Amino acid sequence: MTKPVYEIGVVYTDKQGRYWVAVRQNLLLTFKKGDPVTIKPYTKYKSVRIITVEELCERWAISLDRLDLESAKYFTPPTLRNRPRGRRRVPKDRIEAEGRALRTVQLANA
């Protein structure tokens, strides 16, 4: 049995009538008593295309700002400064120490 794949940003509903928003292809987000809850469901939920964001926030009893804050964890890309850029420069003293150690080994084996 394959896991269902969800369309990111689309609202889904389960058999109990709870609303979930897809934040990843296999991860759904909802709010219970103001706290965010995520699940990886094994059954397919039905999509709801006619609900607005305001209605969703009203059903979850949260503010739009709170929804933006929680969804930003999933929808915003990582910052550029966290990505490595190019090769790291080796410190000059490390190069000199490695060269000295190599010369010592070569002299010992000569």
Q: Is the pLDDT score of 110 beyond 70?
A: no
CB atoms within 10 A of CB 26: 14
Question: What percent of the chain stands above pLDDT 70?
Answer: 82
Per-residue pLDDT of 53-97, as tens digits, reads 999 999 999 999 999 888 888 877 766 555 666 667 777 777 777
Average pLDDT over residues 34-40: 90
Q: Which residues of 57-91 are buried (b: 16+ CB within 10 A; e: fewer)?
A: beebebeeeebeebeeeeeeeeeeeeeeeeeeeee
Three-state secondary structure call for residue 24: strand
Write down the domain spans for the chain.
Answer: 11-80
